[in-house]
Structure 1
Amino acid sequence: MKLLRHGLIGAEKPGLMDGQGVIRDLSGQVADIGGAVLSDDGLAAIGSLDVSELPAVPEGTRLGAPIAGIGKMICIGLNYADHAAESGATVPPEPLIFMKATSAIQGPNDPIVIPRGAEQTDWEVELGIVIGKPAKYVSEEDAMDYVAGYVLANDVSERSYQKDRSGQWTKGKSCDSFGPLGPYLVTRDAVADPQKLAMKLSVNGEVMQNGSTETMVFGVKKLVSYLSQFMTLHPGDVISTGTPPGVAMGMETPRFLRPGDVVELEIEGLGQQRAEVVADA
């Protein structure tokens, strides 16, 4: 299934995309796409519905982030060896984690806003893992049982804040609009192998990143298990798993985002995003 949320900012309603690409409203069936709805039983209940009887949502309706009430967004750094190399870093012996503030999360096609004083706003196409039930001290063998599904993510980053302003990476990752998610959450059963998904990102039509989740250093099972050793993962939490090479920071002459640019990204089976870049007011 492809679950989503549609409507104006702050007033999104739950929905899904049917097999013909029509968005259907789920607000008469579930309160939102989050919490217990993401459990195996909750997803099975939605899957049992006669989709053709659900109201169609008008074309052109805005899509919000496909998960409601995200408690935490955990990001994995340097999880592709070739990206680590272009960043002048080495792959860490264990997953390198940092947090992205949930206030950065937005819809897949909402504008990316360059913060005041920012000079090095960058892009990162990433696979996001969505947790479906509480996970604590989970083994790698059982890790997939705790995954509700997957989502396309753009880990937008202001490198000058991340690298030159002291402290951890979080300040360069958490600016408003720096966490586009969606267009939809694709449930676990609809993704045959999350470690074999093509991924691509373009700026103004020029392909910048063209990779695959196959080259991740730490895979989905490892990350879910690993993180659950340090903190309880709750339904709706998102793990953004790192990016392949091709970011602006890694270029010989970096070409960071500027107002007027258009960023487009996709992951095989998880849909596409298209965001215009604007300056903060």
Structure 2
Amino acid sequence: MKHARIRHQGVVLQVTLDDELNIRLPNGERLSAGAVEWLPPATGTMFALGLNYADHARELAFTPPTEPLAFIKSAGTYTGHNQVTWRPDGVDYMHYECELVAVIGKPARHVKRGDALDYLVGYTVCNDYAIRDYLENYYRPNLRVKNRDATTPVGPWIVDVADVPDPGNLRLRTWINGTLTQEGTTADMIFDIPYLIEYFSSFMTLQPGDMIATGTPEGLADVVPGDEVVVEVEGVGRLVNRIVSEAAFFANPASTKHTKGV
């Protein structure tokens, strides 16, 4: 089953989707996917992984890490499906990152690898845009690289754990304006989802709604205002986002409301 957060007629709702991706409202009414505003399906803390794909580490000429390289993203960075993201004025390189995201469903502390998936509510997709100009350290990206308002599309929905029987063998793809620019598989992850849940919960408590963004494979490319970027994780979802300029984004109040991730 797929679960989503939407805004319809000014009200934020938790909804489900049928097999044809029609939205079922709590009152039983059904709407098409194009009739609503999509919101990030989860809004907890995001624990994002750097260099978690061996091919991506090689692409950047790095030795694959021996311990997870994690950083935190705040809820203000999230935006939803079919929304816009802005490219800062004057930068030279901004790239997408197609990622499978594991969503925590109940408090997780000292979880063992074999029990890890029991602590998930499901999976979603994110596009973890990065501003390469400000990158000082690939191992620990600073805030200007990864924590800008509305620069992490998440969604469109959360797919139940039971509906993704093998998260370690899913195809990831990215398109810019309809051209395939990135393709990989979660089989190339260095640290898989059960390992990451065990790792994070060994020293902190993961909370419901927290997310683990598991990294991206090789195949990054620059994006500019006017581009439509689509990231897809097989069996989970297809997330659409459009790039606008910094000036255009902040001149439009309808865009800046998404900086709150609600």
TM-score (norm 2): 0.88
SS in 2 for 1:163: coil
Q: Quote the residue 1:225 is aligned against.
A: 198
After superposition, residues 194-273 of structure 1 pair within 5 angstroms as 194-248=167-221, 256-273=222-239
Measure how far apart 1:162 and its partner are: 2.5
Q: Quote the residue 2:252 is aligned against.
A: none
The answer as to whether partners of 2:21 and 2:32 remain within 8 angstroms in 1 is: no
Measure how far apart 1:264 and its partner are: 1.0
Q: Quote the residue 1:86 is aligned against.
A: 59
Which of 88, 96, 101 is residue 123 of structure 1 equivalent to?
96
SS in 1 for 2:57: helix
Q: Which runs of 5+ in 2 are unaligned?
A: 248-262
Q: Which amino acid aligns with 1:12?
A: V
Q: Which amino acid aligns with 1:207?
A: L
Measure how far apart 1:22 and its partner are: 1.2
Measure how far apart 1:4 and its partner are: 0.5
Which of 30, 41, 53 is residue 56 of structure 1 equivalent to?
30
The answer as to whether partners of 1:73 and 1:237 remain within 8 angstroms in 2 is: yes
Measure how far apart 1:171 and its partner are: 2.6
Distance in 1, Cα, partners of 2:225 & 2:8:
23
Q: Quote the residue 2:12 is aligned against.
A: 12
SS in 1 for 2:197: helix
Q: Quote the residue 2:255 is aligned against.
A: none
Q: Which amino acid aligns with 2:239?
A: Q
Matched, 1:65 2:40: yes
Query: Which runs of at least 4 in structure 1 moved beyond 4 Å after TM superposition?
Result: 8-11
For residues 9 and 163 of structure 1, do their structure 2 counterparts lie closer, same or farther at Cα, with a shift above 3 Å needed? Answer: farther
SS in 1 for 2:31: coil
Matched, 1:274 2:240: yes
Distance in 2, Cα, partners of 1:127 & 1:170:
21
Distance in 1, Cα, partners of 2:88 & 2:206:
30
The answer as to whether partners of 1:9 and 1:64 remain within 8 angstroms in 2 is: no
Measure how far apart 1:192 and its partner are: 1.0
For residues 206 and 20 of structure 1, do their structure 2 counterparts lie closer, same or farther at Cα, with a shift above 3 Å needed? Answer: closer
Q: Which runs of 5+ in 1 are unaligned?
A: 29-53, 249-255
For residues 10 and 149 of structure 1, do their structure 2 counterparts lie closer, same or farther at Cα, with a shift above 3 Å needed? Answer: farther
Measure how far apart 1:179 and its partner are: 1.1
After superposition, residues 38-187 of structure 1 pair within 5 angstroms as 54-60=28-34, 61-67=36-42, 70-163=43-136, 168-187=141-160
Q: Quote the residue 2:22 is aligned against.
A: 22
Measure how far apart 1:257 and its partner are: 1.2
Distance in 1, Cα, partners of 2:16 & 2:172:
23
Measure how far apart 1:71 and its partner are: 2.7
Number of aligned residue pairs = 245
SS in 1 for 2:199: helix
Bigger relative contact order, structure 1 or 2, given CA contacts below 8 A and separation 6+? Answer: 2
Q: Deviations over 1:243-272 (max 9, x none)?
A: 000013xxxxxxx21111111111111121
Distance in 2, Cα, partners of 1:140 & 1:197:
20
TM-score (norm 1): 0.82
SS in 2 for 1:226: helix
Q: Percent identity?
A: 39
Q: Quote the residue 1:252 is aligned against.
A: none
Measure how far apart 1:59 and its partner are: 4.6
